[in-house]
Amino acid sequence: MTHTVETPNLLSSSFGASHQVNIHRFGTIGARPKVYIQAALHADEYPGLLVAHHLINRLAALDEQGAINGEIVVVPVANPIGLGQRVNAQHLGRFDLAGGGNFNRNWPDLSEAVLKRIEPHLSEKAEMNDQLIRDALIHKVTSLEVRNELDDLRKTLLLYSIDSDVVLDLHCDFQALFHLYSSIHHKALAHELGCELGAHAVLIETEAGGAPFDECHAGVWWRLKQKVDVKTPIPLGCFSATVELRGQQDVSDELAQQDAKALIRFMQRRRVIAGDPGPTPEPLCHPTPLEGTDIIYAPTAGVVVYHKALGDWVEKGEVVAELVDPSVVPQDQARTPLISRTNGLFLTHMSERLVAPGAALIKICGELPLEHRESGKLLEA
């Protein structure tokens, strides 16, 4: 049995109250490959909490059988700060109410600090460079300054994740089909993960903008690769993905068990866990560029009326929804149509039926890059 639970406490924000992060570890520390999986960094995204619960149960059983070859870290509640944020009896877990912004934005780019530390020691041996980078990453994260509780949460999670070979960040959208985000440098692995999980979209980004948690991990490696001489080979040492477990209300034991089983199969295929995963399931989609996904923002306030449902195919120029302002006179001008700028799959929409201007209301996943998405941040706030 290798299963242990570590429970670091975060810097307390007030007298007599502190948050704790529970870290489940399986396998031998330092064994490879190392997989890190966390749930609900956006603390109001609940499906991952239940997936993590089923995953931990399954991993504990596999551990008893001695089937863990590598190292696996599971953080079932990655954001205890956000989990406790309630305003007027509503749970709000996407943004830090203490002023720290979106919990899944502004994660550090560690590539410069790592490069500074390793540059004199790089060699022509990729394996040695790989180890140098992982050691430098741990060194850098250990020295990150902590000024407040959110800093401490970020540092705590990074201490367990940053040297991993695979990082899976479990999220969800408001109402959505299963989809995931990953880097263009890991298109093949992202496709494999998408097949395993039954993803309806695998969104591939060159650089998402906004610095999410997944990019903090894989990004170090491809950025270093771009910065150093070709004579000193840098492997792409970490595959990371943001896994969108459908919509916020898609929470059931059946779905969570299905997703946990798929994650186990993915880890068996990567030889982190012993056992035969069987053939890879047929894909439900092929990877598409993130800049091909149209995000329709609300241009005005209104009551939203959808004319398309999740999973529908949408043509460019088609009206997918309307915003209705019942106070407008005359009444025939009360409706503002929302029009798709791509041919694609109706992938996500917001849950609220009353929206404010600027709300990122709808995502339609198209195959071709869109001109209006080629500059600026590709992720919504």
Q: Give residues in contact with Zn ion (CB under 5 A).
A: 42, 45, 171
Tell me whether residue 171 or residue 270 sits nearer to Zn ion (CB atom): 171
Torsion of CA 166, 171, 176, 182, to 10 degrees: -30
Task: Taking the CA atoms of 376, 357, 93 and 349 in sequence, report the sign of the dihedral they define.
Answer: negative
Closest distance between Zn ion and the C-beta of residue 247, in Å?
11
Tell me whether residue 45 or residue 96 sits nearer to Zn ion (CB atom): 45
Tell me whether residue 45 or residue 294 sits nearer to Zn ion (CB atom): 45
- Phi, psi of 309, deg, nearest 5: -115, 160
DSSP state of 17: B
Q: How far apart are alpha carbons 255 and 261 in whole angstroms?
A: 10
Q: How far apart are alpha carbons 3 and 35 in whole angstroms?
A: 14
Tell me whether residue 128 or residue 174 sits nearer to Zn ion (CB atom): 174
Structure tokens that stand for 249 in this block: 């209300």
Closest distance between Zn ion and the C-beta of residue 104, in Å?
6
- H/E run at residue 192: helix 187-197
Whether residue 6 contacts residue 23, with contact meaning beta carbons closer than 8 Å, is answered with: yes
Closest distance between Zn ion and the C-beta of residue 345, in Å?
20
Which residues neighbour 264 within 8 Å (Cβ) at sequence distance 6 or greater? 55, 58, 59, 62, 273, 277
Tell me whether residue 171 or residue 308 sits nearer to Zn ion (CB atom): 171
Closest distance between Zn ion and the C-beta of residue 84, in Å?
17
Closest distance between Zn ion and the C-beta of residue 244, in Å?
7
Closest distance between Zn ion and the C-beta of residue 26, in Å?
25
Closest distance between Zn ion and the C-beta of residue 314, in Å?
23
Closest distance between Zn ion and the C-beta of residue 170, in Å?
9
Tell me whether residue 165 or residue 244 sits nearer to Zn ion (CB atom): 244
Tell me whether residue 105 or residue 171 sits nearer to Zn ion (CB atom): 171
Please write down the HEC assignment for all residues of 145-179. Answer: CCCCHHHHHHHHHHHHHCCCCEEEEEEEECEECCE
Closest distance between Zn ion and the C-beta of residue 337, in Å?
28
Closest distance between Zn ion and the C-beta of residue 276, in Å?
33
Q: How far apart are alpha carbons 194 and 281 in whole angstroms?
A: 9
Tell me whether residue 62 or residue 167 sits nearer to Zn ion (CB atom): 167
Q: Report in angstroms the alpha-carbon separations of 58 from 39, 43, 119, 240, 280.
A: 16, 23, 42, 22, 20
Tell me whether residue 229 or residue 380 sits nearer to Zn ion (CB atom): 380
Q: How far apart are alpha carbons 303 and 353 in whole angstroms?
A: 6
Q: How far apart are alpha carbons 202 and 121 in whole angstroms?
A: 37
Amino acid at 253: D
Tell me whether residue 33 or residue 82 sits nearer to Zn ion (CB atom): 82
Q: 3-state DSSP call for residue 180?
A: strand
Q: How far apart are alpha carbons 4 and 192 in whole angstroms?
A: 29
